[in-house]
């Protein structure tokens, strides 16, 4: 919560129904209508996000799109447009970074900001939060909910509690009273299994978890038990870690003997795709664009690219895309000196699960 006597001021900024909101902003005919972004309701698609008009019918993210359509036949279903979401996200995050360089990207629509040393003329985190909400509304015509607290844990729960289009400030003196009545599931790192284990111990609320003996938590959850104990007391020392954006990731090979058979080229591309996909997974990022590079013996170099509507980390998909792009070159008729596969339009991998929405 603090370093010495230096209390941190952390903001959690979470855009409201972000994907749907971008579409509604750009197409005024959608205003006031239930909107779902996700997969095909006639196929195996699932809901990525639903605006609040759609949520009134019980529609929520990760629900099969076919069920969402049954709940509300008048729902407008839209395919994801990640390049558009990413461009808009960059503009929103530029506003955040004008206020503080300490911005941690969680996803395209969610970030932590450490404003402890960047309070500006107002001198308060709450005024900074109001300024962010005003600028996002006026400059981007979208809404963002902001939670303010002495650490990431409290700020995140605060923003969740004030959605949509809200602001919740939890000063250090009120952290315990804010957390105590909440179900333990609201704490970071408490999933269904941990929730069930705590329930078996008679613990359902944060107050009950805070009162539970630490040795019992350590015996049941080992090191995670100490983290649960700290969270129940409103303690979270996790720093805000700025996300340094990587523009692309790739690999290439120059061959001592030129490749002449396209089957051999395909094998090379599959191997490169596996290497690139492994790099994405290790860095916890996903890619929307695959680029193939081909160099012929006379050093003529060409590139071909394809951008997906949904990001991927899938080696098979990257490889098949690169091989399809190869067919758009002269590789079948000319020898090849160099091959390369790279990916770009990178996004935090928190959204790579949305690959499920692409039924293709």
> Which domains can be identified in the chain, with CATH numbers?
2-16+84-232 (3.30.70.270), 18-80 (3.40.1170.60), 248-357 (3.30.1490.100)
Report whether 20 contacts 36 (CB < 8 A). yes
| Distance from C-alpha of 18 to C-alpha of 280, rounded to nearest angstrom | 24
Tell me how far apart the alpha carbons of residues 279 and 167 are, in angstroms, rounded to a whole number: 38
Count of CB atoms situated within 10 Å of the CB of 49: 24
Residue 284 backbone phi and psi in degrees, to 5: 60, 45
Q: Of the residues 53, 88, 102, 110, which is catalytic?
A: 110
In this structure, the strands spanning 248-259 and 167-169 are: unpaired
pLDDT band at residue 350 using 50, 70 and 90 as cut-offs: low
Residue 242 confidence class, pLDDT cut points 50, 70, 90: confident
Section 194-200 average pLDDT: 96
**What distance in Å separates the CA atoms of residue 180 and residue 232, rounded to the nearest whole number?**
8
Q: Which residues pair with 252 in a beta bridge?
A: 340
Q: In the prediction, which pLDDT does 4 show?
A: 41
Token pair listed for 232: 């129940």
pTM of the model: 0.74
Torsion of CA 131, 132, 133, 138, to 10 degrees: 90
Q: 3 an active-site residue?
A: no
Average pLDDT in the 239-261 region?
A: 86
Query: Which tens digit of pLDDT belongs to each residue from 131-188?
Result: 999 999 999 999 999 999 999 999 999 999 999 999 999 999 999 999 999 999 999 9
Token pair of 351 as six digits: 């959204």
Residue 102 sits at the vertex; the CA angle it makes with 99 and 108, to the nearest 5 degrees, is 90
Q: Could you tell me if 114 and 241 are in contact, meaning their C-beta atoms sit under 8 angstroms apart?
A: no
């Amino acid at each position: 919560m603090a370093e010495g006597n230096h209390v941190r001021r952390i903001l959690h900024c979470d855009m409201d129904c972000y994907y749907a909101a971008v579409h509604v902003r750009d197409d005024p005919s959608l205003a006031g209508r239930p909107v779902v972004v996700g997969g095909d309701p006639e196929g195996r698609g699932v809901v990525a996000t639903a605006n609040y008009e759609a949520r009134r019918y019980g529609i929520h993210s990760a629900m099969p799109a076919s069920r969402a359509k049954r709940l509300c036949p008048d729902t407008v279903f839209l395919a994801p447009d990640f390049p558009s979401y990413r461009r808009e996200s960059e503009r929103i995050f530029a506003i955040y970074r004008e206020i503080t360089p300490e911005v941690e990207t969680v996803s395209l629509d969610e970030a932590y900001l450490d404003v402890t040393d960047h309070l500006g003329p107002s001198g308060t985190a709450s005024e900074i939060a109001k300024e962010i909400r005003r600028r996002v509304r006026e400059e981007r015509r979208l809404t963002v909910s902001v939670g303010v607290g002495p650490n990431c844990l409290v700020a995140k729960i605060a923003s969740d509690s004030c959605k949509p289009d809200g602001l919740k400030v939890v000063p250090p003196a009120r952290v315990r009273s804010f957390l105590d009545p909440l179900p333990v599931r609201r704490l970071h790192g408490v999933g269904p299994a941990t929730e069930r284990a705590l329930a078996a111990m008679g613990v359902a609320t944060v107050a009950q978890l805070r009162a539970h003996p630490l040795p019992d938590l350590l015996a049941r959850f080992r090191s995670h038990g100490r983290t649960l104990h700290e969270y129940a007391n409103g303690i979270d020392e996790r720093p805000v870690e700025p996300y340094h954006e990587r523009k692309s990731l790739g690999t290439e090979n120059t061959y001592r003997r030129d490749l002449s058979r396209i089957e051999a080229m395909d094998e090379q591309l599959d191997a490169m795709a596996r290497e690139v996909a492994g790099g994405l997974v290790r860095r916890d990022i996903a890619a929307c664009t695959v680029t193939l590079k081909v160099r012929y013996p006379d050093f003529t170099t060409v590139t071909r690219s394809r951008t997906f509507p949904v990001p991927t980390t899938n080696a098979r998909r990257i490889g098949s895309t690169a091989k399809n792009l190869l067919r758009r070159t002269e590789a079948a008729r000319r020898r090849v000196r160099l091959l390369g596969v790279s990916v770009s339009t990178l996004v935090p991998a928190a959204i790579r699960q949305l690959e499920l929405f692409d039924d293709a």
